[in-house]
Homo-oligomer: A and B are copies of this chain.
Amino acid sequence: MVNIAVLGYGTVGSGVVELLEKNKETIKKNAGKEINVKYILDIKDFNGDKYQDKIIKDFEKIIRDNEISIVAEVIGGATVAYDYTKRLLLSGISVVTSNKELVATKGAELLKIAKENKVKYLFEASVGGGIPIIHPLLQCLEANNIKEIIGIMNGTTNYILTKMITENISFETALKQAQELGYAESNPDADIKGYDTCRKICILSALAYEEDISPDNIEVKGIENLTLKDVKKAEEKGYVVKLIGYSRKSDSGNIEIMVSPCAIKKDNPLANVNDVYNAILVKGDMVGNVIFYGKGAGKFPTASAVCSDIIECINTSEGREINLREDRIFIAKPEFEILEGTNLPIVGEEND
């Protein structure tokens, strides 16, 4: 059994705890061991919560507990989370996180500390929520020189832009709707001004080009001043408007980075990424363009990535074993509705 602690019991933190419980068996199989959440750290009270007996307020209890070998930091921000992460890594405890602000600003330092202390600092969830992007970039594309990254990486702004385009409404009206639906925060600056996108493109660019890239050096343009006129103009000309985090390595070796609303041709696969979905295009010199698409935020998608990093910490030296059962299984042909007037099964409909 592996004992872990979860720092922060907000949306993502509670998602991690619930996911580990819900998919206990699958995770035990894939990690080779059971994962037990021993502590949940949060400054708030959670009276009557299912996991109340695990919730503590004293971080020292976690760092002093020799049974804890992995910690999920989902507090967010770069102050307390930075302090805790650093101390944990220095104490020989691996840390996994969804904290894009901390990874973007202090990632290089924390990776170095992790390496020196022979532990892991993993952050798959910091970009694209549950979409696998960091591991594929580092592992599966490692025979490539990465040339360019184009990302729609903020669900809030993509939702607002989709509304502006499809419902022909102003930025202000769309933002208000997004806030009412809980897709935008009451203070939406980090999203709409592009800071969130900037942190994510900095994380991906740092890994792709192996340079320590700070968000402080990047000029960021959000969607807060985007007019419906611009959106319509783009539409007329066969383009859609998306908030893009962009980077490329120029032939001279410079790294060029931009965060800005951009026009994308309608037949580009990125143009069809709507609502709260994210997509990240990575161009490798050998593989060409590959795109990773999915829900870029949300409780369980993000928890999915955090938990896969927890499992990786456990599997780290060996990698996951693949064992295919060879016993007889029943394989059937699935039933689908047939498109009227044809004999074509209709697939890909949302059914839940």
Contacts and interface: CB of A to CB of B under 8 A. Distances in A.
Contact of A140 (B136, B207, B324, B332): B136
Given A19-B286, A107-B324, A345-B262, A256 B140 contact: no
Interface in A283-305: 284-295, 298, 300-301, 303-305
B143 A311 contact: yes
Interface in A335-352: 336, 339-349
Contact of A334 (B258, B288, B329): B258
B255 A330 contact: yes
Given A239-B339, A349-B265, A142 B320 contact: yes
A347 B342 CA distance: 39
Contact of A246 (B244, B246, B291, B334): B334
Interface string A4-28: 0000000000000001101100110
A124 interface: yes
Nearest to A130: B287
Given A233-B339, A263-B345, A272-B269, A290 B26 contact: no
B290 A291 contact: no
A286 B23 contact: yes
Q: Can you tell how many copies of this chain the complex includes?
A: 2
A165 interface: no
Contact of A143 (B264, B307, B318, B324): B307
Interface in A304-329: 304-305, 307-308, 310-312, 316-326, 329
Which of A308, A333, A334, A347 has the largest count of B CB atoms less than 10 A from its CB? A347
A47 interface: no
A258 B322 CA distance: 24
Contacts of A71: none
A125 to B, nearest CB: 10
Contact of A304 (B141, B244, B347): B141
Given A230-B342, A324-B206, A331 B213 contact: yes
A344 B272 contact: no
Contact of A234 (B26, B334, B342): B342
B136 A135 contact: yes
Given A139-B139, A254-B329, 17 more contacts: A132-B140, A143-B308, A143-B310, A210-B322, A212-B325, A218-B331, A237-B339, A239-B339, A248-B334, A255-B329, A256-B332, A258-B333, A260-B345, A262-B336, A263-B342, A289-B294, A292-B292
7 contacts: A115-B323, A131-B290, A132-B132, A255-B329, A284-B304, A286-B300, A287-B305
Closest 9 CB pairs of A and B: A132-B140, A143-B307, A290-B294, A130-B287, A256-B334, A132-B136, A291-B293, A287-B304, A263-B344
